[in-house]
Amino acid sequence: MRRNARRIRRDGIEPMMILSDDLEFAPIALVTIARGMWRYRSELAPVTAALLTLTSGTILHAAYAVWWPIVLILAALTSWVLAFFGRWVNLTRPAERGYAAATVLLAGGWTAAATAVGPSAVPLPHVLAIGTFVTGLPWWAHRRRRARVRVERTLAAWPEISQAIGLAGSRIQSAVVDLWGYRARVALARGQTVEDVVSKLPALESALGTRRGAARVQPVPERANRMELRVIENDPHADAIAWPGPSVTSITQPVKLGLFEDGSPVRVSLLRRHVLVGGVAGAGKSGGVNVILADLSACPDVVIWGIDLKRGMELLPWASCLDRVATTAQEAQALLRDAVAVLDGRADVLAQQGQRVWQPRPDAPALVILIDEYAELVDEAPEAVRHADSIARRGRAVAVTLVAATQRPSQKAMGQGAVRSQMDVRISFRVRERRDVDLILGQGMFKAGWHSHSLNAPGKFLVSAPEHDIPRRARTFLLTDDAVQCTTGRHASNRPPLDEISTAALEATPTSADEDAPAIACHGHTTASHDAENTLWTALRDAPGEGMSIEDLMRQTGMGRSWVYYRLQEHARSGRVAQVSRGRWRAHPDS
């Protein structure tokens, strides 16, 4: 030791620690070695296991040499149990079970041989050395083991980490390593809150040595002094997630919007709920609306109307599944006014029948109105906003609801009314400023850890709804143009028309000329309806033998599905038209 210290001085390097001759070197070295061995216990496990095997072989040979067949049988039995029931001891994959079974058989076989002939009998020492190295290789290379050890070492430093970031006294209770990173349950010290931790997230990420934005904190609902710390090392949302197909067959079931970071689905019920979708341009709002549309189009108990003042750019690909689309301010105003008429009509009937809510069924469908870029509506059709306000306040019970997308739902952009405050489901894609989080998700949400300003890819979102009250990052499914085309093709012919109560309410609604510019699809009370009636009749009369489909009739008349359907029903009742085959119609030859 003194020789070492002299060499350091000769090299001109100032020694950092001077050990005096009085100090006992051996205990310090032992403690350091023991600490090192404890720290690297996982890496040293194959060597430890070999030493234990050697010791058992030595003892058994000395005392019970005749027991070797028992040792061999026990080893074979344990190996068999591990191979077939290893799942019970967390050996989830077949490769892991195979490895454990082979290692136990090898170690047990060696111990049996050592018991019989002694551990030093050739070739047993060589077999033990080579066996340790060969079985050690998969152990040292195992990805999950290495990840677990790394996490254990990181979290072992929690007392210092928590001290450094001002959360002294908090403790790690347990940690689980998974495919994407790790999760730890943390017990907070007296008086500390999850909000305190949320405000220290950047410091926590720095102390844990993660990348920026990798740490998430979630409260544990049943205990205010517990939280779950999640560190995402491999972003499960790095790639787009293809839409897997419709997740529902009725609006009474929750739709699947995308996946959370742990791979679980984001399910949200849309029944009797208004939805606000917000986020900067390009953050994925239209993509999110597409997923909602794709699921709703598979539900025969919902009629969908759409308002798209971007000249129909976003909604027109869905036109064949939409009962009605408005692409101008006038059409939007007429559409929302009609929605209020439907709402009133349904409310009157429910009141007469002494019922409280409208139960959606294929013959009494819910009505969902999708509005892309709500702020445009406020700018271009301020009158329409009054109707939207009315729907937002009164539409839930009668299943007439809004899905409104906008970049920044400020009070001005939402038209000063109650629409924003009435939104039950809030979906926030990336926002530019922190205060926009509160605009979309509600007051105080930013402080509570809803950090949608840090979402880093289009399609990533946070959802706040009665069933989602914790900020968990998710990504919507991505629908390609082909998927949209395929979905509309599949569902267009099964879309329901509006029910008779709603249609009667529309028929009874007085129209104002300025609102009734012909919409792409619109019910029977438009100014164009008289011409459409004549066109319909001519089309049915001139139809070929196999009849005309409803889509053909919609195209020719320029009217919506409900209108065509009801006209056909009426003609059929009076015997003027007949259904030639499923969904195909023509005029009766005698009529």
Ligand X SMILES: Nc1ncnc2c1ncn2[C@@H]1O[C@H](COP(=O)(O)OP(=O)(O)OP(=O)(O)O)[C@@H](O)[C@H]1O
- Say if residue 199 carries a ligand binding annotation: no
Quick note: the x/- pattern for ligand X over 396-425, rule CB under 6 A, is -----------x------------------
Closest CB to ligand X among residues 204, 294: 294
Closest CB to ligand X among residues 282, 466: 282
Quick note: the x/- pattern for ligand X over 205-244, rule CB under 6 A, is -----------------------------------x----
Closest CB to ligand X among residues 254, 459: 459
User: How many residues interact with ligand X (rule CB under 6 A)?
Assistant: 15
> How many other β-carbons are positioned within 10 Å of the β-carbon of residue 116?
18
The amino acid sitting at 355 is Q
**Cα Rg of the chain, angstroms:** 35
The three state secondary structure string of 17-70 is CCCCCCCCHHHHHHHHHHHHHHHCCCCCHHHHHHHHHHHHHHHHHHHHHHHHHH
3-class SS at 426?
A: strand
- Say if residue 284 carries a ligand binding annotation: yes
Closest CB to ligand X among residues 376, 499: 376
What gap in Å lies between CA 502 and CA 492, rounded to an integer? 21
Our finding on whether 286 is near ligand X (CB under 6 A) is yes
* In the complex, residue closest to ligand X by CB: 459
Strands of 239-374 (E only): list them. Answer: 241-242, 255-260, 265-268, 275-278, 302-308, 324-326, 366-372
Q: Tokens in use for 422? A: 């009435």
Longest dimension (CA), the chain: 122
Our finding on whether 478 is near ligand X (CB under 6 A) is yes
The amino acid sitting at 157 is A
Cα dihedral across residues 156, 162, 168, 171: positive or negative? negative
What gap in Å lies between CA 498 and CA 342, rounded to an integer? 9
- Say if residue 129 carries a ligand binding annotation: no
Q: Degrees (nearest 5) of the Cα angle 79, 83, 87?
A: 125
Shortest distance, position 273 Cβ to ligand X, whole Å:
21
Quick note: the x/- pattern for ligand X over 156-195, rule CB under 6 A, is ----------------------------------------
Closest CB to ligand X among residues 186, 280: 280
Say which residues have a Cβ less than 8 Å from residue 358's Cβ, sequence separation at least 6: 346, 350, 364, 366, 397, 398, 399
Quick note: the x/- pattern for ligand X over 245-284, rule CB under 6 A, is ----------------------------------x-xxxx
Contacts of ligand X in 97-136 (CB under 6 A):
none
Shortest distance, position 281 Cβ to ligand X, whole Å:
4
- Say if residue 442 carries a ligand binding annotation: no
Closest CB to ligand X among residues 69, 282: 282
Closest CB to ligand X among residues 181, 458: 458
Our finding on whether 473 is near ligand X (CB under 6 A) is no
Q: By the 8 A CB rule, do 204 and 184 touch?
A: no
Cis peptide leading into residue 138 (ω within 30°): no
What gap in Å lies between CA 298 and CA 491, rounded to an integer? 6
- Say if residue 285 carries a ligand binding annotation: yes
Shortest distance, position 451 Cβ to ligand X, whole Å:
18
Which region, judged by CB under 6 A, interacts with ligand X, from 76-84, 137-145, 340-348, 471-479?
Answer: 471-479
Shortest distance, position 269 Cβ to ligand X, whole Å:
21
Q: For binding to ligand X (CB under 6 A), which residues are involved?
A: 240, 279, 281-287, 407, 458-459, 475-476, 478
The binding site consists of 279-286
